[in-house]
Structure 1
């Protein structure tokens, strides 16, 4: 049985985002967020609810089947108008966002699309390219969460590279936190939280 007092990485991610969204409401911020890995749309739907009627979510994925599932999920919840989906890799974020877009936050859930071809995975090269393109347009106090999975082929290499990259971000400009379970032996996961000062 999972401990009741220590949240899972998914639960902790949602807690971070809910706290983040509360600060938007308090400041009257129109939230513009990026879902770098739409998958089947679970996170996209979560983000679309958080940004509210005035906000916007831009979602990216290379797999059309996932985008179709995500669109159906959003339409069923009657909030599809809050989301723009791109059938493109997240490394294209800079070229696909409307000119002058200031991004409030971004979420990445790495690995593969459950229920699909497990050979189609996120990779360090494109994930880091996406993050590097996103950080310059991230607003002050903007947050990026990156959920790293290592239980599939290529996952450990991607995770190690992204964590090494994040460790190089300048302290005067960013804070990088990490949440994980060091005693988990199989399928290790890490959550990176990047906040722009």
Structure 2
């Protein structure tokens, strides 16, 4: 059976993340990806998790405590455009994930935006290790979503193939704008 974009994002990350790595959840949301990453990096690794909404931090904190992985996570109550200032320049990253759109079961007016996502991607690529991956799951069925999808697609297409491989994964026969996954791997 084919995996959903969310499940496939975890498969792609699990293939490269090892205990002790440093990784980023650029959009912590309800904490599912943050907890998943924290389990993969273990106690000696670290996860930087970003979100602008207080509700996201509370939901994520609760999930991390329940999962027993709170210790290795740094929750950052700021947008992912601040990655360059929060994560030290000398820190190398094994992986990062974005779920672009809005926080499920919350204010649908608060959405990720093309300009801040582009800033975050630049900061992550500058710190990404060889064989590291950045996964973006783009939910675009809301106002502003199409513009962000276009930016991500264009950004990924412009990456030099000598340095990066980029994969897209999507279901093309489903209704209601199924999410599209992008995976950038540094060579």
Aligned to 1:41: 31
What is the TM-score of this pair, normalised by structure 1? 0.91
Aligned to 2:157: 167
8 Å CA contact 2:16, 2:131 repeated in 1 = no
Counterpart CA distance in 1 for 2:90 and 2:54 is 27
Counterpart CA distance in 1 for 2:121 and 2:21 is 18
Unaligned ranges ≥5, structure 2 = none
Which 4+ stretches in 1 moved above 3 angstroms? Answer: none
1:79 CA drift (Å): 1.3
Q: Which moved more, 1:158-167 or 1:182-191?
A: 182-191
1:99 CA drift (Å): 4.4
Task: Tell whether 2:10 aligns with 1:20.
Answer: no
Unaligned ranges ≥5, structure 1 = none
1:115 CA drift (Å): 1.4
Counterpart of 1:37 in 2: which secondary structure? coil
Q: Using CA pairs under 8 Å that are at least 6 residues apart, name the structure with larger relative contact order, 1 or 2.
A: 2
From 65, 77, 81, the counterpart of 1:91: 81
Counterpart of 1:47 in 2: which secondary structure? helix
Spell out, residue by residue over 1:133-153, the C-alpha distance to the aligned partner (whole angstroms, 9 max, x if none). 110111111100000011111
Counterpart CA distance in 2 for 1:66 and 1:173 is 34
Task: Tell whether 2:182 aligns with 1:186.
Answer: no
Task: Tell whether 2:121 aligns with 1:125.
Answer: no
What is the TM-score of this pair, normalised by structure 2? 0.96
Name which one, 1 or 2, has greater alpha-carbon Rg.
Answer: 1
